[in-house]
Structure 1
Amino acid sequence: MIKSQRLIRLMMVINAKKSFTVRELADEFGLSPRTITRDLQELSEVGFPIYTVQGRGGGYRLLQERMLPPIAFSENEAVAVFFACQSLQYFGSVPFDESAASAIHKFYHYLPIDAKEQIDRLRNRVVIWNPRRTMSADCLQTLLQAIMNNNVVTITYKSSDGETQRDIQPVGLFSSEGYWYCPAYCFLRRTYRLFRADRIGFASLNNAFPYRQDLSGRSVFDWITPDLTRFDFQYDLIVELREEGVRSLETNVWFGSHIEVHEDGGGTLRIRIPAQKIEFFVDLVWQLGGEAMIVEPAEAIDYIKQKIETVRQRYL
């Protein structure tokens, strides 16, 4: 095995271990301890995150942030990865601290000159756009860490009821219209809630609060579905949509799968919603203006009329 291949394989083996000794690696690779020690020194010099452990039972340990071995990309794959990472710059905050910027810098730096020229020609011409919203990157990172490590998070949250402190068990993170959202089980309300990250004032991992494994089977795609049926009284929300209304709602996390598209491009939205949540769902339809018309229930129509009258009164 040539040296470059050996170093890559060594990186892969080390990544799979929490700790190791030179003798263990020497036996596994069929090499002398001296050669393995020299290889480890070279990996350390190029930034591979290992450190020595002194004393009895010592050896080497891998830092928490492991380094992946090299990956071969085709030119088209390289361009695709570059612009996927670059799209994150249009978010006001992301849950990856400086890692995304660092990754794209490394990625671009080691591309061949002709690939760099191709990317440079596409800069500011191919953009994956997101509205820029400002929020706490620290809170996003805490939520991401909780999701990865199965932790409960203590947060302060601002809502129409004022600011409250809550313990939540995050389901996941997703972004929509530039905002980051965290569906989570709220131990204060004893049900699932959708938290908008920019309304979280403070977030801290709470290792003292027991993590509930029975709540861990959901994803951002189905987190609320089982709970919609727990409300005793529900409405069938029916909305007629023009073509532009269909385009606006077909990617909506709540409505997308409930739209029946017609031959003319318009459509009909039918979804069963809890009576307690009618204002929330109607407000989403309200944003479409004349591209949508609520057919039923009457309570939803009345709420829309109230909003229209409130706006009309402001212009008298």
Structure 2
Amino acid sequence: MHKTSSRLLALLSVLQTHRDWSGDDLAERLGITSRTVRRDIDRLRELGYPIKTVKGPAGGYRLEAGTRMPPMLFDDAQAVALAVALQTAATGTAVAEDASRALATLSQVMPARLRHRIDLLRVTAVQPPAAGDIPQVDAQVLTDLSHLIHAREELRLDYAPGPNTSVESPRRVQPHHLVTWRHRWYLVAWDLDREDWRTFRVDRIRPRTPTGPRFTPRELPGGNVSAFMTSRFRGNDGTTTDWPCRGEVILHLPAAKVAPFAQEGIVEELSPHHCRLTLGSWSWTGLAAAIGRFDTDIDVIGPPQLATAFADLAARYARAARTTRPEIGPTP
């Protein structure tokens, strides 16, 4: 009996690789006969695994999705990866509670050797300082939006454009992608009334029912959702991921001191005390301010717009330095 159980687990593990397997390939892989493969396939089907027989010259088998969740088999590496992912999801996400319960269920049936490995890989997902201001998203709304994306159905929604805005505007959109960006959920959609692509904060969406008709998906600018989101949050139209403003300067600092704080910038060493920095930003003023934080002498290479931005900032800072705060007397 133990031999049969071990053989079934090995067969299930092979079938979970999401490809078609011929009976002969399975027999060779597991070191058993084709007849034994057929019997074991029948046993797995009796346990609830939806294994489909694939037609063809050699025939074969495929493990498909079923109507209920059967027992699943993970190898050691998969189990550890799943536990680490659940630990991360259990901190400050829309599915935190469900992730915690799933992690507890997984840990309960996990062998001691794997629990020890996971304890050594204990993960704490640290949220950014502003995480307390990030609103949680209703998991049901995420599920509903995902369904509409896959069903390619238009969505009618009420949308609050700002955090302190009580007035919601009605919108009609064709939903295309759900994405996370800096700890927030966004819906990427084609706005039917504005005839343009838009990104909507999911925590500000209130879906309406019924939904609209089915639609044919449009091609997303930039070729993929990652490029589109990067472009939009850099102030572009979604077709390019580069910053709208990019400039070059020479900083009177060693490259080793600049590189850790250059973020996406390119740092080139020119001498032990000088380096070239190429950096981008959403505006020339923003770029000049970002470079100024290095607190050193700066030689502008170009373009001219960057030099103009430095001059504008210098004049603005000079006015601020000359401004004296009025004396604040005691409260009567």
**Taking structure 2 as the reference length, what is the TM-score of the superposition?**
0.54
**Whole-angstrom CA distance in 1 between matches of 2:144 and 2:175:** 12
1:169 to 170, 175, 192: 175
Match of 1:201 in 2: 206
Distance between the aligned counterparts of 1:229 and 1:313, measured in 2? Answer: 44
Tell me which residue corresponds to 2:137: 136
Tell me the secondary structure at the aligned position of residue 90 of structure 2.
helix
Correspondence 1:72 to 2:91:
no
Instruction: Provide the rounded CA distance (Å) in 1 between the counterparts of 2:12 and 2:120.
Output: 38
Question: Where in structure 2 are there 5+ consecutive unaligned residues?
Answer: 21-34, 52-63, 299-304
For the 8 Å contact 1:237–1:297, the answer to whether it is kept is no
Q: Secondary structure at the match of 1:193?
A: strand
Aligned residue in 2 for 1:20:
none
Deviation at 1:89, TM superposition (A): 1.6
Determine if contact 2:176/2:217 at 8 Å carries over to the other structure: no
* Equivalent AA in structure 2 for residue 175 of structure 1: W
- Cα 1:189–1:116, aligned 2, differ >3 Å: closer, same or farther? same
Conservation of the 8 A alpha-carbon contact between 2:244 and 2:280: no
Q: Is 2:276 the counterpart of 1:270?
A: no
Q: Which has the higher contact order (CA 8 A, sep 6+)?
A: 1
1:187 alignment counterpart = 192
| Residues 153, 206 of structure 1: 8 Å contact kept | yes
Matches of 1:128 and 1:266, distance apart in 2 = 35
Does residue 88 (structure 1) correspond to residue 97 (structure 2)? The answer is no
Counterpart of 2:158 (choices 156, 176, 179) is 156
1:239–1:296 Cα contact (<8 Å) kept: no
For residues 42-70 of structure 1, give each alpha carbon's deviation from its aligned partner in whole angstroms, at most 9, with x where no partner exists: x24xxx699xxxxxxxxxx9655655741
Aligned equivalent of 1:295: 306
State the alpha-carbon separation in 2 of the partners of residues 289 and 8 from structure 1.
61
2:105 alignment counterpart? 106
Q: CA deviation at 1:144?
A: 3.2
Pick one of 206, 219, 224 that aligns with 2:224: 219
Local SS of the residue matching 2:199: strand
- SS of corresponding position for 1:135: coil
Query: What residue number does 2:55 align with?
Result: none
Measure, in 1, the Cα distance between the counterparts of 2:145 and 2:224. Answer: 14
Amino acid at match of 2:237: L
User: What is the CA deviation profile of residues 62-106 of structure 1, one whole-angstrom value per residue up to 9, with x for unaligned ones?
Assistant: 6556557412124xx644432222111222414x983x3444233
* Distance change >3 Å, CA 144–CA 238, structure 1 → 2: farther
- Unaligned 5+ residue runs, structure 1? 18-26, 51-60, 251-255
Q: Say if 1:220 and 1:229 are closer, same or farther in 2 by CA, change over 3 A.
A: closer
RMSD value, Cα: 5.4
Kept in 2: contact 1:169–1:211 (CA 8 A): no
Counterpart CA distance in 1 for 2:71 and 2:275 is 47
Q: Would the aligned equivalents of 1:151 and 1:211 in 2 still touch at CA under 8 Å?
A: no
Q: How many residues align?
A: 262
Go from structure 1 to structure 2 and tell me whether the alpha carbon gap of 1:268 and 1:218 turns closer, same or farther (over 3 Å shift).
same
Structure 1 residues 248-279: Cα deviation after superposition (integer angstroms, max 9, x where no partner): 773xxxxx4xx3234478843236x6xxxx69
Is the contact made by 1:236 and 1:270 (CA closer than 8 Å) also made in structure 2? yes
Q: Helix, strand or coil: the match of 1:268?
A: strand
CA distance in 1 between counterparts of 2:222 and 2:238 reads: 18
8 Å CA contact 1:159–1:199 kept in 2: the answer is yes
1:57 maps to what in 2? none
Choose the corresponding residue for 1:127, options 124, 129, 137: 124
Confirm or deny: 8 A CA contact 2:220 2:228 kept in the other structure: no
1:282-314 Cα shifts (integer Å, max 9, x gaps): 5x9989994699936749967xx69x98xx999
Change (3 A) 1:198 1:113: same
1:236 aligns with 2:239: no
Query: Residues 285 and 8 of structure 1: is their aligned pair in 2 closer, same or farther, counting only changes over 3 Å?
Result: farther
Scaled by the length of structure 1, the TM-score of the pair is 0.56
TM-aligned CA deviation for residue 150 of structure 1: 4.0
**Aligned-partner Cα distance in 1 for 2:225–2:324:** 39
User: Distance in 1 between the 2:117 and 2:239 partners?
Assistant: 54
